Structure 1
Amino acid sequence: MNKKINKVAVLGSGIMGSRIACHFANIGVEVLLLDIAAKELLPEEQAKGLTLDHPLVKNRVVNHALQNAIKTNPSPVYTKKAIAKISTGNFDDDMQKIGTADWIIEVVVENLEIKKKVFEQVEQFRKAGTLVSSNTSGIPIHLMAEGRTEDFKANFCGTHFFNPPRYLRLLEVIPTPDTRPEIVDFLLFYGDKFLGKTTVLCKDTPAFIANRVGVYAIMALLHLVEKLDLTVEEVDKFTGPALGRPKSATFRTSDVVGLDTMIKVSKGLYDNCPDDKAHDLFKLPAYVVKMEENKWLGDKTQQGFYKKTKTADGKTEILALDLKTMEYRPQEKVKSATLELTKPIENVRDRMKVFAAGKDKAAEVFRSSFFGLFEYVSDRIPEISDELFRIDDAMRAGFGWELGPFEVWDAVGITDSLEGMKTYGHEAAPWVHEMLAAGNTSFYKVEDGIKKYYDIPSKSYQALPGAGSFIILDNIRAAKTVWKNSGASIIDLGDGILNVEFHSKMNTIGGDTLQAINRAIDLAEKEYRGLVIGNDGANFSAGANVGMIFMMAVEQDWDELNMAVRSFQNTSMRIRYSSIPVVVAPHHLALGGGCEFSLHADHVQLNAETYMGLVEFGVGLIPGGGGSKEFALRASDEYKEDQIVQNVLKDRFLTVAMAKVSTSAEEAFELGYLQKDKYSVSMNGSRLIADAKAKAIELADAGYTKPVPRKDIRVLGKQGLGIVYAGANTMYSGHYISEHDKKISEKLGYVMCGGDLSAPTEVTEQYLLDLEREVFLSLCGERKTLERIQSIVTKGKPLRN
């Protein structure tokens, strides 16, 4: 379908509406955000002599909502510049402006009659063929289209974003019987490609897919609390990161989202799903009823399952709710033998069997909740979805689970779990038994690098939709790895492109990682066309292995440390000066060395959610893998004859000295980590490796030639050092930085200024790398630097000393 979205109208500016508007602005779409006109004057408006007809009054609701959204943390916008894409107005004066929109999204209050009235207005002004959708989370989609024209119905659909829309990847698309199939296909594609969403096709059933399954899982746990005598802390410990769930787990997540939201959805499911086998499970436990009565709804009411207080000495303390006494008490430590057994297991799939076989309370919670969940999701097909993978997609993208229910079931073992399910009073749906009887022992399998799911109607395995658009390293690693060591693998992506994948903890960079990158460049220069450095881990890279640096520094093995730093620098330089194009593909954390590799790439293909920065100051060091050199080089390229060059140096210096980390890909550009025309953004992280490969091919096809090392880097010497030293001294005198911070600042300035040269001079990259390495090693000999590194290594916390 050849349709473009240049302008979106969002009707309703509440928490969801304002943030949906922000996310469209993030991708460069013009947004019209409308809401009701204010009906009465505020005292301050009266004092200013304003009337109800004044635009500031009429648009007060929408403008306040948008400003509140912008102030939230984390921010709904990639950069403040995105806000300029949003214009505001009110339903009374500005509804006619929706006639220029390509997509109209209704996000008003969850009331069918109010929504119908809004759509009556929409129909007066929308142009024929314009997309219209509702962001409802519970009202049947087909009911909202009743009484509308045939063109409206044909272009109308449910589009359920999850909050916050920027960060939660799920977009549920819910067509009605009248929705044109090409509209559905377009929304699934647009949401994926441009909004960065996992788009899931849903049926028009209560709560659609994610909330139907997710709220079932939460309610099952809430009832399990009484059955197994669980505490709030135990539930969150047992259902958190070890299980592949968010750190906020169950009860903390409920506090953040708001207990009232979960209560509303569960009551809706209780009322609207009378034939659901789990119907009684959607009834609230007594302690939740009591919390609702007390208005203990979470963060929005300052207390829920947890409550933040101050101790007698003024320290913040977070108390936990005792679900028996309904009183708050200090949190208790939770111990579990099963959790201890899962700690050394990196792959979350491999932890599932450990949970299933455990003997303690954590394992009992796993079996009690998951055996019921297995039954529930198998029974929901074909009620809520014809395909099992859509349920997994919805739970990963909407609830932040690393594995969906069917993926967990595969990890535990379908056959092994059936007897256990019966022991706990659960039975898999008949189609599961039929699948096993036919010799199909898993819901998913990988063939020729393509992940396939078990398709129930055809009783065969089918490729996941869009498989050709994604390169999932998990699916090709076994067959396509051409070389590997303990820290990284080299994988053949096809079409003459190699990929280096890190697989250390947090993808930290050590000697084995550097060896893999150099080996990959050697191979690519001889037999291939290009190289991608990217992975499917939770983060691209948290930076260099500081534990290794600490050990060498403590043992005063300066020759070994010098060699390690030189190896890091040489690897960064090989990334830039190899004879093949190197594309670095960062996502989420790209810190320290991960950032330095990006700085030296021919092109950076990064996910929109990339948090990039040179953060070495936090451990008492300066960037030592070419980062300090590179910022001096980029400052040099920005110097102009008619400007005060020290100001350019100062801006570059402060980015490193303040360890600034971008909150998005676009902010990484604003901070100077990315260069114009040398980076591209993949909105959908699932497309990142494929996009990076395509860019490497594009560079190779364009006749890539090896760059020439720079010998013309202008450094300011003492002329620049004066401003660096003066600034550091002022900050120290004002007690903004410590004495050690001052020392690190001066040493960074020394490198970026090219040393204490008497006048501005042109130097080579190698000259600056040598200075960078010299300063890095000298700081490794400082006691306070070692204290900072030790704090990070042993406690995971930065130390300011």
Structure 2
Amino acid sequence: MSENKIIKKVAILGAGVMGAQIAAQCINVGLPVVLFDLPGKSDDDKPVHKNAIALKAIENLKKLKPAPLGLASDANLIRAANYEDDLGLLADCDLIIEAIAERLDWKHALYEKVAPHIPAHALFATNTSGLPIGELAKGFSGDLKKRFCGVHFFNPPRYMHLLELIPAADTDPTVLDALETFMTSTMGKGVVRAKDTPNFIGNRVGVFSILAVFAEAQKFGLGFDAVDAITGSKLGRAKSATFRTSDVVGLDTMAHVIKTMENSLQGDPFSTLFKIPEVVTQLIAKGALGQKTKAGFYRKDGKNVLVLDAASGEYKPSTATIEPLIERILKKPITERLELLRDTDEPQAQFLWAIYRDIFHYCAIHLGDIAQSAREIDFAMRWGYGWDKGPFEDWQAAGVTQVANWIKEDIDAGKTLSKEPLPTWLFSGPVAEKQAFHTPEGSWSASENKYVPRSNLPVYQKQVFRASLLGDGSPDPKTAGTTIYENPDLRAWVDQAQPDVLIASFRSKMNTISPDVLNGIQKAIEIAEANYEGLVIWQPSSLKLGTPGGPFSAGANLEAALPMVMKGGPAGVEPFVKLFQDTMMRVKYSQVPVISAVSGIALGGGCELVMQSARRVAAIESYIGLVEVGVGLLPAGGGLKEAAIRAAQGVALASNTNYLDFTKASFENAAMAKVSSSAQDALKMAYLQKGDIIVPNVYELLSLAQNQVKAMRYAGYRPPIPALIPVGGRSVASTVMGQVINMRDGGFISEHDAFIAKKIIDIISGGDVDAGTLVTEEWLLKLERQAFVELIGHPKTMERIMGILQNGKPVRN
């Protein structure tokens, strides 16, 4: 068996919440999947389909939020099956994942039933959040034990980057390598290998951190909303903070994980903490399980958010905020931050120092038991819990010995959640000498008493920049490679591994497109045409801390455009718009391929850049759209021109002249500011095109884009030849405007929305011309430019722009 083993088809046993969503992720990445569950039981009056349970789960995938599927209609690609009639389908599956309820006896009973049908080549895994893999492996014999291990997808499987991989005693190491390769590249996950200990790594540390927050919040008298105000993004943690995250996960799920810890970790130095908090027990008894029951620690009352008052058990308006002093402290570097929190006699400050200290204390004591090294704990907390930095990264940044001494003082003073002393390796030996848990040679392993290097599986060669940890010596993607050209907002550079492909990366906030970005793109294309195979536009922000997938571009830089309007009136912005259009045409007609490597948001001008590239390589989580109407404007960088071209292509393919059908979808995308919900959806909306590549793992985005450039050049790439575009003309525009006016008169859109919509449809349909008239790209660009200049001078548009710049919220006027 080899890590290069190709997994062509997957079976999922169990169509519950996790099983169905893992099946959905298989479909998202293009893998055929069979979803099994118990046979449906018919009664005398009502016959039931034998696959009713699996079919109902598949149907439910279309309605779930957040959406488990890139396209809801793709649910129909999942094959439903049952254990009575369909076990023969396992014969051509290469990976079988069991994902039934967390009961050892139920899992063993299922293994007994399916084991005879599992083919000799197949890998077999159990998806569990904490059951012992060694105990589960006792459910069958011999050869299958070697091909069996644990996997732990975090919920929801489409969006959570973390996947824990857990061996049993008999698991063949090549099985783990094959699964790590598959989960990384095909399923798009960040794989962490865990030891077979209760709740593995992510939930062991994550749930401890939640229980520590409960305990410390009670000690310092802080309400649930007050805790969330200070333990969210300002602390470098998930935006949903602590109690809102618990609501999202489900209080019943959280209670189950805590119960596992209570039952299996009775000798743990922190075991007094491993009890389901009384407030959680009470909420579960009332059926308030969090978001899925619309009440937990929080409850929505219309548009208002109410929070549970622990003392009264009633809900009250959520009003808590972070103290200004604490907000200032949290902006400081972590060394200073921890010292200030520790020394500030204020409940929020003392609480925050306590939760930092508790997590450091716990991780230091348990490092040797639960993980090979500090690396696995840090990645588990970043990818599974959305922390910007892992606990050992924070500790290292703040000073290993300094923080260890502070914790020791608190242990001696009886302030900590356990009296267990810190391990001696913190005070003497390599960690104390280097003041580091992560070094270029590897991360600290308490069980092996040395620094251990990262996995060198071939799959990681597809990642130009692997996920990095503070101190590990990884290159910084913002400065790596050799800079060929740069200006304040753009850097053109080459990576040593593929020095024949030029890369352009933006440096502006949210990768917005400024005059410097536009001039930089033109310069990069000029350099690429002279000396390179092509140009990739890729943003280091795609590898953001925590869960990866940062923005490609939030669009044109409005703050850069406003001074032009203030100085020269609406016409003052026209040179910027013309530069934008000229740059996009330079992208489209470059003599070498220009590829957009997209992840996260590509909005407005970012979408126009994507549309006019020679090809697109897009992460599954790509949210692409022309959203200018939200600020009272319209796309003027060629987005509506490209919409007209796509409509004309649709007409040509259909061999008819019904311009209306093909124009309407493009019009609605722009006029309603629709944004794709995934790369698959962007393909349906024609922002991506047939032949573009959809990438499950954002870490592979750059490498695949570089290889695309080379493949296109090898195939003799030539830019498209400019062609005349047949347009729908005034008849299409007037038909569409009839519907727009009905929406305006019905109060669904405002007068200004209708005004912008008219300009959008006029441009896509080619202006005041007959249907079928042939126009040039320059003609459509001129229409875009004129409309944009007129709109930016409109008072209602200016209100929208100022609203976005001042509050970040769209103004409906």
**TM-score with structure 2 length normalisation?**
0.90
Sort the Cα spacing of 1:664 and 1:759 in 2 relative to 1 into closer, same or farther, 3 A. closer
- The match for 1:440 among 434, 441, 444 is 434
- The match for 1:680 among 693, 698, 703 is 693
Cross-structure match for 1:170: 162
- The secondary structure found in structure 1 opposite 2:492 is strand
Sort the Cα spacing of 1:352 and 1:250 in 2 relative to 1 into closer, same or farther, 3 A. farther
Sort the Cα spacing of 1:141 and 1:479 in 2 relative to 1 into closer, same or farther, 3 A. closer
Sort the Cα spacing of 1:111 and 1:504 in 2 relative to 1 into closer, same or farther, 3 A. same
- The match for 2:319 among 323, 332, 336 is 332
Mapped partners of 2:327, 2:574: distance in 1: 38
Q: Does residue 654 of the first structure (1) align with residue 641 of the second (2)?
A: no
The offset of 1:376, in angstroms, is: 1.7
- The match for 1:520 among 510, 521, 524 is 524
Q: Does residue 531 of the first structure (1) align with residue 535 of the second (2)?
A: yes
- The secondary structure found in structure 2 opposite 1:115 is helix
Q: Is the 8 A contact 1:341 1:354 kept in 2?
A: no
Unaligned runs of 5+ in 1: 311-315
- More divergent stretch after superposition (130-139 vs 541-550): 541-550
Q: Does residue 636 of the first structure (1) align with residue 640 of the second (2)?
A: no
The offset of 1:577, in angstroms, is: 2.2
- The match for 1:417 among 394, 403, 427 is 403
Mapped partners of 1:452, 1:486: distance in 2: 35
Q: Is the 8 A contact 2:803 2:809 kept in 1?
A: yes
Q: Is the 8 A contact 2:111 2:139 kept in 1?
A: no
- The match for 1:509 among 505, 510, 513 is 513
Q: What does the per-residue CA deviation read over 1:48-92, in whole Å, with 9 as the maximum and x for residues that have no partner?
A: x433xx42xx33322222222321122111113422321213222
- The match for 1:257 among 231, 234, 249 is 249
Matching of residues 208-247 of structure 1 within 5 Å: 208-247=200-239
- More divergent stretch after superposition (596-605 vs 274-283): 274-283
Q: Does residue 69 of the first structure (1) align with residue 61 of the second (2)?
A: yes
Mapped partners of 2:429, 2:775: distance in 1: 69
Q: Is the 8 A contact 2:373 2:452 kept in 1?
A: no
Give 2:9's aligned amino acid. K
Cross-structure match for 2:478: 477
- The secondary structure found in structure 2 opposite 1:601 is coil
The aligned length equals: 776
- The match for 1:370 among 343, 356, 378 is 356
Mapped partners of 1:529, 1:577: distance in 2: 15
Cross-structure match for 2:306: 319
Sort the Cα spacing of 1:461 and 1:150 in 2 relative to 1 into closer, same or farther, 3 A. closer
Mapped partners of 2:454, 2:22: distance in 1: 32
- More divergent stretch after superposition (270-279 vs 157-166): 270-279
Cross-structure match for 1:407: 393
Sort the Cα spacing of 1:401 and 1:383 in 2 relative to 1 into closer, same or farther, 3 A. same
Cross-structure match for 1:670: 684
The offset of 1:418, in angstroms, is: 2.3
Matching of residues 551-570 of structure 1 within 5 Å: 551-553=563-565, 557-570=569-582
Mapped partners of 2:215, 2:244: distance in 1: 17
Q: What does the per-residue CA deviation read over 1:118-170, in whole Å, with 9 as the maximum and x for residues that have no partner?
A: 00111132222322111122221121221523121111111111111111122
The offset of 1:382, in angstroms, is: 2.3
Mapped partners of 1:605, 1:432: distance in 2: 45
Q: Does residue 280 of the first structure (1) align with residue 292 of the second (2)?
A: no
- The secondary structure found in structure 2 opposite 1:584 is strand
The offset of 1:629, in angstroms, is: 1.2
Cross-structure match for 1:354: 337
- The secondary structure found in structure 2 opposite 1:92 is coil
- The match for 1:585 among 597, 602, 616 is 597
Cross-structure match for 2:470: none
The offset of 1:555, in angstroms, is: 5.4
The offset of 1:506, in angstroms, is: 2.5
Cross-structure match for 1:313: none
- The secondary structure found in structure 2 opposite 1:174 is strand
Sort the Cα spacing of 1:648 and 1:700 in 2 relative to 1 into closer, same or farther, 3 A. same
Sort the Cα spacing of 1:230 and 1:177 in 2 relative to 1 into closer, same or farther, 3 A. same
Cross-structure match for 2:555: 543
The offset of 1:33, in angstroms, is: 1.4
Cross-structure match for 1:487: 489
The offset of 1:663, in angstroms, is: 0.8
Sort the Cα spacing of 1:502 and 1:336 in 2 relative to 1 into closer, same or farther, 3 A. farther
Sort the Cα spacing of 1:63 and 1:256 in 2 relative to 1 into closer, same or farther, 3 A. same
The offset of 1:642, in angstroms, is: 2.7
- More divergent stretch after superposition (84-93 vs 604-613): 84-93
Mapped partners of 1:777, 1:518: distance in 2: 23
- The secondary structure found in structure 1 opposite 2:738 is helix
The offset of 1:351, in angstroms, is: 6.0
Mapped partners of 2:774, 2:218: distance in 1: 73
Sort the Cα spacing of 1:477 and 1:433 in 2 relative to 1 into closer, same or farther, 3 A. farther
Mapped partners of 2:403, 2:489: distance in 1: 34
- The secondary structure found in structure 1 opposite 2:790 is helix
Sort the Cα spacing of 1:33 and 1:460 in 2 relative to 1 into closer, same or farther, 3 A. closer
Sort the Cα spacing of 1:723 and 1:411 in 2 relative to 1 into closer, same or farther, 3 A. farther
Give 2:307's aligned amino acid. A
Q: Is the 8 A contact 2:58 2:78 kept in 1?
A: no
Q: Does residue 785 of the first structure (1) align with residue 777 of the second (2)?
A: no
Give 2:476's aligned amino acid. N
- The secondary structure found in structure 2 opposite 1:283 is coil
Give 2:582's aligned amino acid. N
- The secondary structure found in structure 2 opposite 1:179 is coil
Give 1:409's aligned amino acid. W
Q: What does the per-residue CA deviation read over 1:290-340, in whole Å, with 9 as the maximum and x for residues that have no partner?
A: 434444332233322112225xxxxx3211112233332111241323554
The offset of 1:539, in angstroms, is: 1.6
Q: Is the 8 A contact 1:10 1:33 kept in 2?
A: yes
Mapped partners of 1:435, 1:546: distance in 2: 54
Mapped partners of 2:696, 2:521: distance in 1: 26
Give 1:440's aligned amino acid. K
Sort the Cα spacing of 1:3 and 1:12 in 2 relative to 1 into closer, same or farther, 3 A. same
- The secondary structure found in structure 2 opposite 1:515 is helix
Q: Is the 8 A contact 2:70 2:679 kept in 1?
A: yes
Q: Is the 8 A contact 1:336 1:361 kept in 2?
A: no
Sort the Cα spacing of 1:756 and 1:437 in 2 relative to 1 into closer, same or farther, 3 A. closer
Mapped partners of 1:352, 1:214: distance in 2: 23
Q: What does the per-residue CA deviation read over 1:558-581, in whole Å, with 9 as the maximum and x for residues that have no partner?
A: 343111111222222222222332
Matching of residues 70-89 of structure 1 within 5 Å: 70-89=62-81
Q: Does residue 755 of the first structure (1) align with residue 755 of the second (2)?
A: no
- More divergent stretch after superposition (726-735 vs 404-413): 726-735
Cross-structure match for 1:740: 752
Give 1:120's aligned amino acid. E
Sort the Cα spacing of 1:357 and 1:464 in 2 relative to 1 into closer, same or farther, 3 A. farther
The offset of 1:6, in angstroms, is: 2.5
Q: Is the 8 A contact 1:455 1:462 kept in 2?
A: no
Unaligned runs of 5+ in 2: 467-474, 542-549
**TM-score with structure 1 length normalisation?**
0.91
Mapped partners of 1:744, 1:682: distance in 2: 35
Sort the Cα spacing of 1:542 and 1:178 in 2 relative to 1 into closer, same or farther, 3 A. same
Mapped partners of 1:293, 1:645: distance in 2: 59
- The secondary structure found in structure 1 opposite 2:383 is helix
Q: Is the 8 A contact 2:187 2:696 kept in 1?
A: yes
- Aligned-residue RMSD, C-alpha: 2.5
Q: What does the per-residue CA deviation read over 1:169-223, in whole Å, with 9 as the maximum and x for residues that have no partner?
A: 2211111111111111011010000001111111111001111010111111110
Sort the Cα spacing of 1:80 and 1:291 in 2 relative to 1 into closer, same or farther, 3 A. closer
The offset of 1:557, in angstroms, is: 3.1
Sort the Cα spacing of 1:301 and 1:675 in 2 relative to 1 into closer, same or farther, 3 A. closer
Cross-structure match for 2:368: 382
Sort the Cα spacing of 1:402 and 1:481 in 2 relative to 1 into closer, same or farther, 3 A. farther
Q: Is the 8 A contact 1:28 1:85 kept in 2?
A: no
Mapped partners of 2:723, 2:338: distance in 1: 59
